[in-house]
């Protein structure tokens, strides 16, 4: 009987194989640059993890020192037992000790503060500069990088403090959340409810803020980094505009005597290159 089956023949035609190879090549051409970018961003952002560890160690030392001071300031047992009034030192009553930030100032003379948002990846040093273009593509140590550094403009008043302190940072499209990428989460009101506190330790003071507005805007719509106001009315007009344009109502009140913190990053999902996401918080 004659066997009609042809042995060893490839089930795919040359054209099919060529098409498959071209498809795989095209996918690799797209994926490999993305993977390379992601690896570079992760490596360059590693500098900030070292700075975070340095900050954690400094905070741990300050906590131990504060606890030791509080123990020394404790009243004699006999006085406490007898119910007599006891005068405590200021450090014993609960003033939060400032973390020593001088080490960062020694590393970079532009350093002004450390910004942290519990519940997010935001945990970075902040510089103050009259050359923002430099810090858009240089890390805290001065290494050229797309990661950049969080920065405030020269007119931000950290010492007084001013009515509005604005901080800029990158929104990086990469795996993980680096720099100000975590701020995108605040477009979801459910995330806001559990993560509304912002902590700022500057060279001058420790401050905690509560987020009161989350705003999408385009460059030129208004100036969220404004620091100078002609008076209370102008300041409240600024605050009320932010609240009216917020993606949702937070219910947080802001008064004419308050101080606010404004965080600004890109948001291409809103208006392409002109899109911005602005997070505004009031000091508590």
Residue 257's Cβ-count burial label (10 Å; 0-12, 13-18, 19+) is exposed
- Structure-block tokens of residue 156: 């931000």
Encode pLDDT of 232-258 as tens digits: 999 999 999 999 999 999 999 999 999
Q: Distance between CA atoms of 163 and 56, rounded to whole angstroms? A: 29
Q: Which residue has the higher pLDDT, 235 or 96?
A: 235
Q: Distance between CA atoms of 250 and 54, rounded to whole angstroms? A: 34
Encode pLDDT of 164-213 as tens digits: 999 999 998 766 789 999 999 999 999 999 999 999 999 999 999 999 99
Spacing of C-alpha 36 from chain mean position: 24
- Structure-block tokens of residue 68: 């030791």
Encode pLDDT of 45-84 as tens digits: 789 988 988 888 877 776 676 666 666 555 544 434 444 4
Res 124 pLDDT > 50: yes
pTM of the complete model: 0.77
Encode pLDDT of 18-38 as tens digits: 676 667 666 645 554 444 445
Encode pLDDT of 138-152 as tens digits: 999 999 998 999 999
Spacing of C-alpha 160 from chain mean position: 22
CA distances from 259 to 48, 199, 204, 251 (A): 28, 14, 15, 17
Spell out the alpha helix ranges (H) of 137-204.
Answer: 189-194
HEC profile for 107-135? HCCCEEEEEECCCCCCEEEEEEECCHHHH
Q: Which residue has the higher pLDDT, 127 or 17?
A: 127
């Amino acid at each position: 009987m004659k066997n009609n089956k042809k042995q060893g023949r490839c089930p795919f035609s040359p054209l099919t194989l060529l098409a498959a190879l071209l498809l795989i090549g095209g996918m690799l051409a797209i994926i490999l640059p993305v993977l390379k970018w992601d690896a570079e961003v992760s490596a360059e952002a590693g500098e900030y993890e070292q700075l975070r560890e340095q900050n954690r160690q400094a905070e741990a030392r300050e906590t131990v020192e504060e606890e030791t001071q509080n123990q020394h300031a404790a009243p004699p047992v006999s006085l406490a037992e007898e119910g007599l009034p006891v005068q405590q030192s200021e450090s014993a009553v609960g003033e939060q000790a400032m973390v020593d930030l001088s080490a960062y100032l020694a590393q970079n003379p532009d350093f002004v503060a450390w910004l942290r948002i519990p519940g997010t990846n935001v945990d970075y040093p902040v510089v103050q500069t009259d050359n923002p273009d430099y810090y858009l593509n240089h890390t805290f140590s001065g290494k050229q990088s797309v990661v950049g550094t969080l920065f405030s403009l020269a007119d931000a008043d950290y010492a007084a403090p001013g009515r509005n302190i604005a901080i800029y940072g990158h929104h990086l499209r990469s795996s993980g959340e680096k720099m100000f990428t975590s701020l995108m989460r605040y477009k979801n009101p459910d995330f806001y409810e559990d993560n509304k506190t912002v902590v700022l330790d500057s060279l001058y003071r420790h401050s905690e803020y509560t987020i009161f507005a989350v705003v999408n805007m385009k460059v030129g719509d208004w100036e969220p980094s404004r620091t100078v106001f002609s008076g209370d009315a102008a300041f409240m007009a600024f605050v009320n505009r932010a609240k009216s344009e917020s993606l949702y109502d937070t219910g947080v009140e802001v008064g004419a005597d308050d101080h606010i913190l404004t965080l600004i990053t890109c948001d291409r999902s809103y208006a392409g290159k002109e899109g911005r996401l602005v997070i505004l918080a009031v000091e508590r």
